[in-house]
Amino acid sequence: MGMGNKLDPTKIEINDISNTHTCPLAKVMRKELRDRGIEHLKVVFSTEQPIEVKEKISNGHRVLPGSMSFMSSCGGLIISSQVIKDLLDIK
């Protein structure tokens, strides 16, 4: 899920979308999935609270959440490892 405004890769975990928290993107995705009749989906997300942005508006536009390059990479590595384990039926 969303890694914007997060800094701690040790807070990344895999869980069902219904068990996600502290992730604004996951909240939106839960609603979208419910609307489509999908109740369960394995996802990677961070339990870290997003860092508060000091400046909310830049040049009249809302500031988008920034992400550290390593956070997205770590999330990708963690979920890809889980995909391989699922394919090999390893718990």
User: What domain count does the chain have?
Assistant: 1
Q: What is the pTM of this model?
A: 0.76
Evaluate whether residue 38 is within a structural domain.
yes
Residue 41 lies in a domain: yes
Model pLDDT for residues 23-70, shown as the tens digit of each residue: 888 899 999 999 999 999 999 999 999 888 776 666 677 777 777 889
Assign residue 9 a region: left if phi > 0, alpha if psi is -120 to 50, beta otherwise?
alpha
Q: What tokens were used for 54?
A: 């000091």
Q: Residue 83: is its pLDDT beyond 80?
A: yes
pLDDT at 58: 62
User: How sure is the predictor about 78, in pLDDT bands with cuts at 50, 70 and 90?
Assistant: very high
Extended beta strands in the chain, E state? 12-16, 42-46, 57-58, 61-62
Range of the domain at 46: 1-50+72-91
Per the domain annotation, does 58 fall within a domain?
no
> Can you read off the two tokens belonging to residue 22?
């502290």
- Mean pLDDT to the nearest integer, 4-18: 93
What's the pLDDT at 77?
A: 96
